[in-house]
Amino acid sequence: MTEEELRWAFAPILDDLAERSTVAERFIDKNVYRLYIATLWANVVLNPEDAGIQESDLELLHNVLNERLAEVIGKQADIADCFRFISSKAGEAAMAESRLSSTHRDLLTYFSSMILDPDGHRRWMRRLGEDSDA
């Protein structure tokens, strides 16, 4: 798919996420929006075919999501920013306020680890594998 096709295909969900994040007529709760975008990204990465795309489309979709984040949150925002937020005290508070299930929180925390510290994540996963072999 092209970026334009991905923009068109994901526009309804991105519009819905912005609407769900709207607190007052035009005010978007940026913290909630970050949680939604991070959740969307994690789910699409886990199962691109379920989202109607191929794994090879992920890089272009990443660009599309970053564009939308910049529009909604500000020019500095991108997907990595969403996961930095999740790893912060404010992110923890937002997940608690949003009453995310422990599974949902674990998913976001797992992706945060992978995205923000891939080497540390690999070491952590190796240790988990070694512990399970013991």
Question: What is the pTM assigned to this prediction?
Answer: 0.85
- Pair 34, 82: CB distance under 8 Å: yes
Nearest partner of 91 among 57, 100, 133, judged by Cα:
100
Angle ∠(69,36,80) on CA atoms, nearest 5? 50
Predicted pLDDT of residue 116? 84
pLDDT, residue 14, reads: 96
Cβ(29)–Cβ(57) below 8 Å: no
Q: In the prediction, which pLDDT does 130 show? A: 73
The pLDDT value recorded for residue 125 is 63
Look up tokens 């594998």; give the residue: 129
Q: For position 124, what pLDDT does the model report?
A: 61
Residue ranges for the chain with pLDDT beneath 70: 118, 120-125, 128, 131-134
Output DSSP code: residue 51: G
Bridge partners of residue 28, in order along the sequence: 22
